């Protein structure tokens, strides 16, 4: 799908979609609990549907209604065929660990984008816990011969993907000997680990950690059933909040100001850049103002890089973002994708290994490529709404995390037209 955006003055109210990360974590914990759990206000998207399908193939029963998923877990069986994870990295990585509990052989396969993303560090960590698991070089497909998880001590770097550590945390309480996880490199994206531990607590599981989150321990214990309510997604909301900052005024509902989500820091970044931000319970209002450049470390909020890049493009001065190297291992190489897209729109961008420098410019509309990456598409859409005459290719990729994105933009005044 190709989308055309025209210069817009936005004004209105929108609801942030439910959190993808919390929906996925809730599904995993519910599938590990004996009995029936409820996921209230789940996000329905390509990624969450991928996990739901795979969990169903190994024995979890998931009955889906629009605002309520009923999950009956605790009893896994060997799947009839391969477990296709689509392009959902969380599905592949979390299920690689969960398949250690599934009796028999599981083969996890991936879509084109996910097939390029590493899984070997997780495979090595699972091997240390006694799991019979292998992958093709560094990548999917992954084969797990499960049914018995011995446990013990495992080591893994914390600066590749927090999803690897979360995957180990999910299965740690079910290991025969318990599990200790030692990080050999400092943890990045710490908020995602805190979210995982919070979800575990809600399902009755206790994990202890060191103060700096470089060591985790879980004794043998059972998951309880729970009613798990999913809060709004700060990552997806960042595009709507940015729209208010560059195109008018927007109120975004369904956001928890006390959330553990790392991308909540977008509020601080917007204020630092000069945007007008107001908080009223779970509603955030952002109004347009003259933006100024910012320097920020995105190590713990790497998914905000596309949003921050387009804000920097419209701001006065030179912005710098560090801690961005891991963004190269997402659905696309987001660092180079942003440099390419912003350069086409007249913005001066310098790309280094772990730094992106953006000179606030007079931005112009252009035809840009999302590279099939939902976050690149949504960020460039915000910039296109501010300057007009912008065309985004592969725009359907937003369905990965925010299926209603284009309709939501229309509802608050963005002039957008889609061509299949």
CA nearest 401: which of 89, 2, 71, 164? 89
Q: Where are the alpha helices (DSSP H) in 143-220?
A: 162-171, 190-202
Per-residue DSSP letters for 74-116? S-----SS-EE-TT-HHHHHHHHHHGGGSSEEEEEE--TTGGG
Question: For strand 10-15 and strand 2-6, is the pairing parallel, antiparallel, or unpaired?
Answer: unpaired
> What would the 3-class secondary structure string for 346-367 be?
CCEEEECCCEEEEECCCCCCCE
What is the rounded distance in angstroms from the CA atom of residue 260 to the CA atom of residue 226? 19
CA nearest 195: which of 70, 62, 57, 303? 303
Query: Is the dihedral angle over the CA atoms 149, 150, 156, 158 positive or is it negative?
Result: positive
Alpha carbon 291 to chain centroid distance? 27
What is the rounded distance in angstroms from the CA atom of residue 330 to the CA atom of residue 303? 9
Q: Say if residues 372 and 332 touch (Cβ distance below 8 Å).
A: yes
Q: Say if residues 205 and 173 touch (Cβ distance below 8 Å).
A: yes
Burial category of 211 from C-beta neighbours within 10 Å (exposed 0-12, middle 13-18, buried 19 and up): exposed
CA nearest 214: which of 245, 188, 192, 238? 188
Kindly list the catalytic residues. 303
């Amino acid at each position: 799908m190709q989308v055309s955006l025209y210069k817009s003055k936005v004004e209105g109210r929108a609801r942030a979609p439910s959190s993808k990360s919390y929906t996925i974590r809730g599904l995993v914990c519910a599938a590990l609990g004996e009995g029936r759990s409820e996921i209230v206000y789940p996000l329905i998207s390509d990624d969450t549907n991928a996990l739901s399908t795979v969990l169903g193939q190994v024995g979890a029963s998931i009955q889906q209604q629009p605002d309520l998923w009923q999950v009956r877990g605790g009893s896994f069986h060997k799947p009839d065929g391969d477990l296709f994870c689509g392009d959902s990295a969380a599905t592949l990585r979390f299920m690689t660990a969960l398949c250690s509990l599934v009796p028999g052989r599981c083969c996890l396969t991936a879509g084109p984008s996910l097939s390029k993303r590493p899984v070997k560090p997780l495979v090595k960590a699972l091997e240390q816990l006694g799991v019979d698991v292998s992958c093709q070089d560094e990548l999917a497909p992954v084969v797990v011969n499960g049914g018995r998880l011995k446990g013990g001590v495992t080591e893994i770097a914390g600066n590749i993907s927090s999803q690897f550590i979360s995957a180990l945390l999910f299965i740690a309480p079910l290991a025969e000997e318990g599990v200790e996880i030692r990080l050999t490199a400092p943890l990045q994206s710490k908020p995602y680990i805190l979210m995982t531990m919070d979800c575990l607590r809600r399902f009755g599981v206790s994990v202890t950690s060191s103060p700096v989150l470089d060591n985790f321990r879980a004794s043998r214990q059972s998951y309880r059933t729970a009613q798990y309510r999913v809060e709004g997604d700060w990552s997806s909301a960042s595009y709507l909040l940015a729209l208010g900052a560059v195109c008018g005024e927007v109120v975004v509902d369904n956001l928890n100001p006390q959330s553990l989500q790392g991308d909540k820091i977008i509020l601080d970044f917007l204020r630092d850049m000069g945007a007008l931000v107001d908080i009223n319970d779970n509603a955030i209002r952002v109004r347009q103002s003259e933006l100024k450049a910012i320097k920020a470390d995105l190590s713990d909020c790497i998914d905000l890089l596309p949003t921050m890049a387009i804000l920097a493009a419209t701001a006065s001065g030179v912005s710098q973002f560090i801690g961005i190297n891991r963004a190269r291992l997402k659905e696309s190489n987001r660092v180079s994708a942003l440099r390419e897209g912003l350069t086409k729109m007249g913005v001066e961008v310098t790309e280094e290994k772990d730094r992106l420098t953006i000179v606030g410019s007079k931005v112009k509309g252009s035809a840009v490529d999302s590279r099939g990456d939902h976050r690149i598409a949504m960020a460039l859409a915000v910039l296109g709404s501010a300057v007009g005459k912008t065309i985004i290719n592969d725009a359907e990729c937003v369905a990965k995390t925010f299926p209603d994105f284009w309709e939501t933009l229309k509802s608050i005044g963005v002039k957008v037209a889609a061509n299949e």
